[in-house]
Amino acid sequence: MAEKEEDPNHSVSGLMNNCNTAGGPVSPKSPEDETSESPVPDTGLTPNAEQKRNGSGTDLKSVLVTSVLNLEKLDVDLYRGTHHWVPRTQRLFGGQIVGQALVAAAKSVGDNFYAHSLHCYFVRAGDPKVPVLYQVERTRDGRSFTVRSVKAIQHGQPILICQASFHMQQESPLQHQFTMPTVPPPEDLLTVEELIHLYLSKPDLAENAKQGLNKLLANEVPIEIKPVNPPQFYRRGATEPKKLFWVRARGYIGEGNMKLHCCVAAYVSDFALLGTVLLPYPNYRAKFSASLDHAMWFHSTFRTDEWMLYECVSPWAGGSRGLVQGRLWRRDGVLAASCSQEGVVRVKPATEPSKL
Ligand SMILES: CC(C)(COP(=O)(O)OP(=O)(O)OC[C@H]1O[C@@H](n2cnc3c(N)ncnc32)[C@H](O)[C@@H]1OP(=O)(O)O)[C@@H](O)C(=O)NCCC(=O)NCCSC(=O)CCCC(=O)O
């Protein structure tokens, strides 16, 4: 019979043992953390933590916590989510819908149950002009696993269907993982914004490229990215369908709330993933692309406000679809989460080489 033990992967002490991330060893939650008044609206998943990151200074709370993943409760198992960053396609960002669906699901499970996987279909484009409703069905409450189904609804119709499963930690001698790719640390690399400023300073840059870059700069994407190989990230020449970048949520989230970090990871995991399909084809541009489904598995504790390496590979493309797989690595080499996604990718010939 399975014994119920303290969860070393998810407890505060487990975080201390396992999580040696960018900020060095994670310190235990202080008693003040429990009592101090948080300036952040209560998401139900928000930790009452100090407002400092790594003790280096005051950071603003991540907008992912204060706004995007901060759902409004309308009724039992019914929530409303609002939008923050909307992609140029003017359809809602898939990662936002998945992240919000996971927040809604997590609100109805016990404190010692943690998301271990989710499976979603994007069945309609999300409309950025109206909020999204999240309707949770308590599919099953088991002894060690608990399953929730979430429907994201707009205009009375589902835009996403999601199944999320939560697990109470159980120890096992079976434990292995792949090895993290060897890459330069984030401190040695430039952010997407720094790279754009670099490109903008080039005297021979065409006017339309300048406009495109300035539009990119104006984006208020709530995550920071440092491409490991910038020319490849921006598709200069054909490369294998594989890309690596460091990623973290902008602003402070804090330690000790794995439920929240899983929701943020779900948000982050959809970003730039599907673009991996196009890497071998510099002579083609996407004329229509959208993620069709998204599955995710959570393996260990992690902090999404610390740099994590995102490894994206596309093992297959065909018939206007492409399959992509992602691995999120903690910078100490621990595999934090894996995901898989299929997307529709319809292309047209690139009329001129990219200036990026
Ligand atoms: C996938 C679809 C579109 C499928 O619905 P559908 O009714 O079967 O639609 P459809 O027939 O595929 O039409 C869609 C569109 O594709 C056009 N089309 C259709 N067939 C062809 C063709 N052979 N050649 C060229 N174009 C074709 C159609 O005319 C449609 O165009 P339109 O939307 O009318 O302009 C739908 O289920 C849907 O919209 N689901 C939601 C997908 C979604 O919103 N995913 C999340 C957002 S994507 C994302 O977040 C990726 C990350 C972005 C990042 O990295 O930055």
DSSP string, 224-269: EEEESSHHHHTT-S---SEEEEEEEESSB--SS-HHHHHHHHHHHH
pLDDT digits (tens, 9 = 90+) for 341-356: 999 999 999 975 554 4
37-41, 220-224, 229-233 — which one is most confidently predicted on average?
220-224
Query: pLDDT at position 352, please?
Result: 52
Phi, psi (degrees; rounded to nearest 5) at 206 = -65, 150
Spans of all domains in the chain: 12-169+219-349
- Active site residue: 165, 291, 314, 338, which one? 291
Mean pLDDT of 136-160: 98
Question: Contact at 8 Å (CB) between 68 and 271?
Answer: no
Report the nearest atom of ligand 1 relative to the CA of 290.
48
Report the nearest atom of ligand 1 relative to the CA of 97.
46
**ipTM attached to this prediction:** 0.91
Residues 6+ apart with CB under 8 A from 208: none
Q: Which residue has the least CA distance to atom 46 on ligand 1?
A: 94
Query: pLDDT at position 235, please?
Result: 74
Question: Contact at 8 Å (CB) between 65 and 44?
Answer: no
Cα(157)–Cα(138) distance, rounded to whole angstroms?
A: 20
Mean pLDDT of 67-84: 95
- Active site residue: 100, 169, 270, 314, which one? 270
Mean pLDDT of 297-311: 97
Kindly state the percentage of the chain with pLDDT values over 90.
68
Mean pLDDT of 91-111: 97
Q: Which residues line ligand 1 (CB under 6 A)?
A: 87, 91, 93-94, 122-126, 270-272, 274-275, 288, 290-292, 344, 346
Query: What separation in Å is there between the alpha carbon of 94 and the centre of ligand 1?
Result: 13
Q: Which residue has the tokens 């099953």?
A: 140
Mean pLDDT of 183-202: 93
Domain 12-169+219-349 is found in CATH 3.40.50.720: no
Q: In terms of pLDDT, which residue wins out, 352 or 36?
A: 352
pLDDT digits (tens, 9 = 90+) for 251-291: 999 998 999 999 999 999 999 999 999 999 999 999 999 99
Query: pLDDT at position 47, please?
Result: 39
Query: pLDDT at position 277, please?
Result: 97
Q: Which amino acid is at 258?
A: M
Residue 291 falls in the annotated catalytic set: yes
Query: pLDDT at position 59, please?
Result: 63
Half-sphere exposure of 97 (CA within 13 A, CB side): 36
Kindly state the percentage of the chain with pLDDT values over 70.
82
